[in-house]
């Protein structure tokens, strides 16, 4: 097709690095004119929307967007669809009501929930935990906090949550806060669940520095430091997401929709999340010592599955 598709993260962040390759692969595999990875200069919503707007003027015909803000992006998406340009939320969802065609990504609530459950299991079903979270003003943070609390509540008091520490997604703030936490309470707490990229990395590193294998940590994403922590026993596990798959499948589907060959099915087996009613799980899996060598293959397998069944499950095509 002659579609030009842009994949746009919220800002510069290592998580999205695989999107570049995913886009290229998708363009080659599905014969799309272009699938370009375009990064806003800074992690700011207005820069993201300005980028989207300028790409429209450059003739891009479909957008895969990680919303810089789950609510704030909607107005822009609305304008896109008004111009017959489809957009899909990738990696993270936009908050309903939204004109995003669908959301292919990590269910932040579910991921945090599963991560906490994994942590509870690693702690032997009881103890005290701390939740490390990202920007407090990000609507997703609230969802993650709720998810952690839900998982904790299900233990009927065997596990208690000591505190949520937020605004840890800048390196230095994370280092300062997490170390302060360990300094104050390392003997009291039994586990930490991190629902943001940077605190996961920093917590993994801090536990290694401390030489502490008693405190269990379940993080998110597969940063090298976290994976090393898993191999060496400082980290119990991490919730892998599937950035490559999101970019690859996202581009594939957007191409179909933008070409007009397919439309999104209303009664497809969508997952309903607190954020959106049109959610597709891009694959969340727990990386632990057992699968740390092989999880990539697992993710690839998932990606292949989603891609091959997508048309039938979620789209109506001519």
Partner 1 sequence: MTLAVSSDSRARPSWLAEQSNLIGLAAIIVLFWVLFTSLAPGFVSSFNLFALSRSLAVDVVIGFSTMVVLATGGMNLAIGSIGVCAVMASGYMMQTLGLPIPVAMALALLLGAFLGWLNGFVIVRSGVNSFIITLASASLFLGAMLILSKAQTFNALPPEIAAFGRMRWKFISPLLFIALGLGAALVVLFRFTALGREILAAGANARAAELSGVPVGRAIIIAHTLSGALAASAGLMLVIRLGAAMPSIGQDWLLPSFLAPVLGGTLLAGGYVSVVGTILGAFLVTTIRSGLLVMQVGNFWLQLFLGLILLAAVMLDRYRGIYAERRSLGRKDAGRRASGKSA
Partner 2 sequence: MSTMTRNTTFGQRFLANEWSALAIAIAIGLVTLAVLSPAFLTEFNLYVMLRSFCVVLIVAFAQMLTLAVGQMNLSVGALGGLVAIAVGGMMEKWGFPVPVAILCGLAIGAAGGLINGLLTVRTGINGFIITLATASAFTGINLGITESIPFYNLPASFVAFGTERFYALPYLLLPPVLIAIALAFFLARTVPGRQLLAVGGNPQAAELSGIPRDRVIVMAHTLSGLLAGAAAILAVAQLGSAQPTIGADWLLMSFAAPIIGGAALTGGHISVAATALAVVLIVIIQNGMVLAKVDPYWVQFLLGALILAAVGLNRLRAVRAGGA
Q: Residue 45 interacts with partner 2 (CB under 8 A)?
A: no
- Please check whether residue 274 is in contact with residue 142, taking contact to mean a CB–CB distance below 8 angstroms: no
- Please check whether residue 217 is in contact with residue 229, taking contact to mean a CB–CB distance below 8 angstroms: yes
Q: Which helix (H) or strand (E) holds 172?
A: helix 171-185
- Per CB under 8 A, the list member of 142, 164, 213, 311 interacting with partner 1 is 142
Which of 270, 246, 260, 267 minimizes the C-alpha distance to 318? 260
CA 144 to chain CA centroid, nearest Å: 12
Q: Residue 54 interacts with partner 1 (CB under 8 A)?
A: yes
For 98, residues 6+ apart whose C-beta sits below 8 A from its C-beta are: 74, 77, 89, 276
Q: How far apart are CA 242 and CA 90, in angstroms?
A: 10
CB neighbour class for 283 (10 Å; exposed up to 12, middle 13-18, buried from 19): buried
- Per CB under 8 A, the list member of 28, 31, 33, 75 interacting with partner 1 is 75
CB of 210 or CB of 268, closer to partner 2: 210
- Per CB under 8 A, the list member of 36, 69, 107, 175 interacting with partner 2 is 175
Q: Which of positions 225-244 make contact with partner 2 (CB under 8 A)?
A: 225
Size of the site for partner 2 (CB under 8 A): 36
In the shown chain, the binding pattern of residues 161 to 190 toward partner 1, with x for contact by CB under 8 A and - for none, equals ------------------------------
Q: How far apart are CA 5 and CA 62, in angstroms?
A: 5
Edge-to-edge strands, sheet with 237-240: 159-165, 127-132, 191-194, 216-220, 237-240, 285-287
Q: Residue 14 interacts with partner 1 (CB under 8 A)?
A: no
Size of the site for partner 1 (CB under 8 A): 38
Q: How far apart are CA 127 and CA 272, in angstroms?
A: 31
- Per CB under 8 A, the list member of 4, 38, 144, 205 interacting with partner 2 is 205
DSSP one-letter string for 104-126? EE--HHHHHHHHHHHHHHHTTS-
The partner in contact with residue 317, picked from partner 1, partner 2, none with C-beta cut-offs of 5 to 8 angstroms by kind, is none
Q: Which of positions 82-141 make contact with partner 2 (CB under 8 A)?
A: 133, 136
CB of 98 or CB of 238, closer to partner 1: 98
Which of 74, 65, 66 minimizes the C-alpha distance to 96? 74
Around 128, how many Cα atoms within 13 Å sit in the side-chain half-sphere?
A: 8
State the nearest-atom distance from the C-beta of 38 to partner 2, in Å. Answer: 12
State the nearest-atom distance from the C-beta of 3 to partner 1, in Å. Answer: 17
Q: Which stretch binds partner 1 (CB under 8 A): 42-50, 183-191, 287-295, 302-310?
A: 42-50
- Per CB under 8 A, the list member of 45, 47, 162, 268 interacting with partner 2 is 162
Q: Residue 95 interacts with partner 1 (CB under 8 A)?
A: yes
Cis peptide before 97 (omega within 30 of 0): yes
CB of 71 or CB of 225, closer to partner 2: 225
Q: Residue 56 interacts with partner 2 (CB under 8 A)?
A: no
**Binding-site ranges for partner 2 (CB under 8 A):** 12-14, 17, 39, 41, 133, 136, 162-167, 170-173, 175-177, 179-187, 201-202, 205, 209, 224-225
User: Using CB under 8 A as the criterion, which residues of the chain lie in contact with partner 1 when the complex forms?
Assistant: 12, 37-39, 41-42, 44-46, 49-51, 53-59, 69-72, 74-75, 78-79, 82-83, 95, 97, 135-139, 141-142
């Amino acid at each position: 097709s002659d579609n030009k598709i842009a994949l746009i993260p919220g800002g510069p962040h290592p998580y999205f690095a695989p999107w570049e390759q995913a886009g290229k692969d998708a363009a080659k595999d599905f014969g799309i004119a272009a699938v370009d990875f375009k990064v806003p200069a800074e992690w700011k919503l207005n820069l993201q929307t300005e980028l989207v707007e300028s790409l429209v003027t450059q003739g891009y015909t479909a957008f895969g967007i990680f919303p810089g803000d789950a609510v704030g992006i909607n107005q822009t998406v609305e304008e896109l669809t008004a111009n017959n340009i489809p957009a899909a939320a990738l990696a993270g969802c936009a908050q309903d009501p939204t004109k995003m065609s669908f959301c292919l990504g990590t269910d932040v609530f579910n991921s945090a929930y599963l991560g906490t459950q994994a942590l509870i299991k690693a702690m032997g079903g009881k103890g005290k935990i701390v939740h490390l979270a990202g920007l407090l003003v990000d609507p997703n943070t609230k969802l993650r906090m709720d998810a952690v609390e839900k998982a904790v509540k299900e233990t009927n008091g065997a596990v208690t949550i000591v505190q949520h520490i937020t605004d840890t997604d800048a390196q230095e703030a994370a280092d300062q806060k997490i170390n302060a936490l360990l300094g104050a309470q390392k003997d009291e707490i039994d586990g930490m669940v991190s629902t943001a990229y940077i605190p996961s990395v920093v917590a993994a590193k801090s536990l290694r520095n401390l030489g502490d294998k008693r405190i269990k940590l379940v993080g998110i994403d597969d940063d090298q430091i976290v994976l090393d922590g898993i191999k060496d026993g400082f980290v119990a596990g991490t919730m892998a997401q599937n950035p490559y798959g999101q970019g690859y499948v996202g581009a594939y589907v957007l191409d179909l929709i933008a070409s007009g060959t397919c439309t999104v099915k209303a009664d497809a087996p969508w997952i309903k999340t607190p954020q959106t009613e049109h959610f597709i799980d891009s694959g969340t899996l727990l990386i632990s010592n057992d699968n740390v060598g092989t999880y990539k293959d697992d993710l690839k397998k998932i990606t292949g599955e989603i891609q091959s069944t997508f048309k039938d499950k979620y789209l109506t095509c001519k």
